[in-house]
């Protein structure tokens, strides 16, 4: 029975330990052809690529936030073979985009994962949350300023409320979180969900009958389908 890769983000570990894996990389080309700036409300996961991931790190103070931002930018520089440094993260990000585009002779792709985590991590510290929001606002405003150097930008996060203020300078982002017309490759095939869930349910000793398993399996698939396609009808009970 294949295991679900809950909490595992390392691709090699997923493959080597035979976890469930559905390859959806085909959607990348379709999204790039259809949009330029995209926001996707996080479900809990080209030419030169700049990746900013806030999934790890301590953002409980401005010092730690700055340290993590510099670390992320420095890592991208190393990956792209570019050397640059600045006193602020937004200036550094700006130069990184332009230098990467110039070096490779083509516009860059920007991937930002959990864009709002530094804010959400400080929800119990309103003053720090406000400072983090302003820092991120300055960082993300660089994207709008470098439109000519960007091929595609993809961002994930949670609430719309903070997105409005953080991205006030970037008002042309397409929010596809509730889109009903995503390309077919965006969905995980029903057969994959059924196969995965069936093997898990069979391993549970409390499932005694085939009819019981069928009922639970059908309910689970309906719930997953509801979450994937963001339908408006209520969840099945």
User: Do the domain assignments include residue 3?
Assistant: no
**Are 38 and 97 in the same domain?**
yes
Q: What angle do CA 142, 112, 196 make, to 5 degrees?
A: 165
Residue 4 domain-assigned? no
pLDDT, position 142: 94
- Residue 141 forms part of a structural domain: yes
Per-residue confidence (pLDDT) for residue 233, from 0 to 100:
45
One domain, residues 139 and 206: no
Task: Identify whether 93 is part of a domain.
Answer: yes
Please check whether residues 193 and 135 belong to one and the same domain: no
* 17 and 39 assigned to the same domain: no
In the chain, how many domains are there?
A: 2
For residues 139 and 166, give the distance between their C-alpha atoms in angstroms, rounded to a whole number.
9
In terms of DSSP H, where are the helices of the chain?
Answer: 11-16, 26-34, 62-80, 89-104, 117-120, 126-145, 160-166, 190-202, 210-229
Residue 118 belongs to some domain of the structure: yes
User: What pLDDT sits at residue 1?
Assistant: 67
**199 and 83, same structural domain?**
no
- 99 and 30 share a domain? yes
Average pLDDT, consecutive stretches of 10 residues, N- to C-terminus, the chain (237 residues): 78 89 81 85 64 90 96 94 89 96 94 91 93 93 93 81 63 72 62 67 54 58 48 43
Residue-range definition of the domain harbouring residue 97: 26-175
Do residues 162 and 207 both lie within one domain?
no
**CATH number of residue 97's parent domain:** 3.40.50
CA distance 215 to 234: 18
Do 73 and 168 lie in one domain? The reply is: yes
Instruction: Tally Cβ neighbours within 10 Å of residue 18.
Output: 11
In a domain, 204, yes or no: yes
Asked whether the beta carbons of 128 and 61 are under 8 A apart, the reply is yes
Token reading at 188: 């995980």
Question: Please, which residues have CB within 8 angstroms of residue 165's CB and are 6 or more apart in sequence?
Answer: 133, 137
Residue 6: inside a domain: no
Query: How many H-runs (helices) and E-runs (strands) does the chain carry?
Result: 9, 5
- Residue 85 DSSP SS3: coil
**Same structural domain for residues 162 and 49?**
yes
pLDDT of residue 202: 64
pLDDT value of position 236: 43
Residues 194 and 96 in one domain: no
96 contacts 73 by C-beta, under 8 angstroms: yes
Distance of CA 36 to the CA centre of its chain: 16
For residues 138 and 213, membership in a common domain is answered with no
The answer on 209 and 117 residing in a single domain is no
Instruction: Please state the pTM of the whole predicted model.
Output: 0.68
Q: Has residue 166 been placed in a domain? A: yes
């Amino acid at each position: 029975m294949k295991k679900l890769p809950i909490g595992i983000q390392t691709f090699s570990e997923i493959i080597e330990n035979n976890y469930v894996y559905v390859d959806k990389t085909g959607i990348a080309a379709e999204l790039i052809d259809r949009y330029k700036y995209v926001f996707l409300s996080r479900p809990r996961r080209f030419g030169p690529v700049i990746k900013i991931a806030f999934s790890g790190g301590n953002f409980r103070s401005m010092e730690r936030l700055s340290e993590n931002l510099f670390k992320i930018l420095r890592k991208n520089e190393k990956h792209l073979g570019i050397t640059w440094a600045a006193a602020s993260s937004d200036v550094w990000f700006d130069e990184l985009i332009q230098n990467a585009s110039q070096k490779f002779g083509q516009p860059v792709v920007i991937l930002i994962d959990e864009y709002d985590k530094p804010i959400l991590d400080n929800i119990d510290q309103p003053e720090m949350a406000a400072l983090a929001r302003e820092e991120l606002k300055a960082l993300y405003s660089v994207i709008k300023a470098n439109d000519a150097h960007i091929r595609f930008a993809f961002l994930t996060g949670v609430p719309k409320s903070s997105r409005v203020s953080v991205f006030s300078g970037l008002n042309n982002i397409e929010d596809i979180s509730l889109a009903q017309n995503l390309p077919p490759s965006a969905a995980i095939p029903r057969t994959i969900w059924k196969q995965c869930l069936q093997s898990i349910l069979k391993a549970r000793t409390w499932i005694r009958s085939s009819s019981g398993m069928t009922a639970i399996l059908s309910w689970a698939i309906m719930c997953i389908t509801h979450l994937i396609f963001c339908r408006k009808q209520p969840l099945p009970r």
